[in-house]
Amino acid sequence: MAGKLYIVGVGPGHHDHMTFRAKQVIEESGTIVGYSTYVNLVQDLIEGKDIHRYDMTQEVERAHQCIKLAKEGKIVSLVSSGDPGIYGMAGLIFEILAESGWNPKTGLDVEIVPGVSALNSCASLIGSPLMTDFAVVSMSDLLVPWEVIVKRVEAAAQGDYVIVIYNPSSKKRIHQLQDTRKLLLKYRSPNTPVAIIKGAYRESESITMTDLEHMEEFADKLGMISTVIVGNSSTYNFNDLMINPRGYKSKYNIQEPNVQN
């Protein structure tokens, strides 16, 4: 029997925001592999299955195991929160397979099941912050040198992109977001809207609306399950919502037309 490996994005954490396909392949799979926190998000869907839980820093180990199990003929779901192709496990799986000489047409059957990423889920909770061009940057320098991250942030700041920041801080990483704020203030007003969303669509969910000038005052809202969205020069707050105009006002009258009988 030929095995199969699903790389599954389960979304932000609530089953309402998990795709039908994600639920379908998890049900089909006899084996579930993943970081313990992510496995817990689908605990009620995997009763009776062969479950392999890993710690956060064991990405390489879980990648090799799920490939091995699938090659042995098992149907395996490697679960990730959000989307596995955005800072997820899809990249590592394909790197390992590519180095082994894997042929996608004749070798192990692999399917990525996309999910709702943090940029989607967090944006949906605070209005319409991503209506124009935006950039996504991770503050984690575990795999990417900090000097490279700084260059990317500065390029996004100069380009007036709305910026979505993943992994803004951890117990060991404090200066990164502080440095990023100082860099952004070179190009943006202190009044630039900022949203800090923690645990979107989970029981721990919290939303803080602030601006670049006061962002540091909310350090307690930051962590690995937090996402920060920094507006651009056009972004404004309205009743605790972040609005980024698409540009319709420059071409159309968006006021409700007067209807005469």
214 residue type, one letter = H
The predicted model gives 190-194 an average pLDDT of: 97
- Residue among 59, 58, 5 nearest 32 (CA): 5
Mean pLDDT of the chain: 91
| 75-80/4-9 β-pairing | parallel
What is the tens place of the pLDDT at every residue in 30-69? 999 999 989 999 999 999 999 999 987 889 999 999 999 9
Range list of H helices, 185-230? none
120 has pLDDT over 90: yes
Say what the pLDDT of residue 253 is: 62
DSSP letter assigned to residue 252: S
pLDDT value, residue 221: 77
Q: How confident is the model at residue 197 (pLDDT cuts 50, 70, 90)?
A: very high
Look at residue 225 in the predicted model and tell me its pLDDT.
83
pTM of the model: 0.90
Q: Are 195 and 228 in contact (CB under 8 A)?
A: yes
Rounded mean pLDDT of 127-156? 95
Tell me the CA distances in angstroms from 181 to 76, 177, 214, 240, 244, one per residue in order: 42, 6, 10, 21, 20
The torsion defined by the Cα of 257, 259, 260 and 261, in degrees rounded to 10, comes to 170
Using H for helix, E for strand and C for coil, what is the string for 118-155?
HHHHHHHHCEECCCCCEEEEECCCCCCCHHHHHHHHHH
Query: Which residue, 256, 234, 232, 230, is CA-closest to 245?
Result: 234
Q: Which domains does the chain have, with CATH numbers?
A: 4-116 (3.40.1010.10), 119-243 (3.30.950.10)
Q: How confident is the model at residue 254 (pLDDT cuts 50, 70, 90)?
A: low
The residue to which tokens 């799920």 are assigned = 66
Record the tokens describing residue 198, joined without a space: 């923690």
CB atoms within 10 A of CB 109: 14
Mean pLDDT computed over 98-123 = 95
Q: How far apart are CA 39 and CA 210, in angstroms?
A: 33
By CB neighbour count within 10 A (0-12 exposed, 13-18 middle, 19+ buried), where does 2 fall?
exposed
Sign of CA dihedral 142, 147, 148, 150: positive
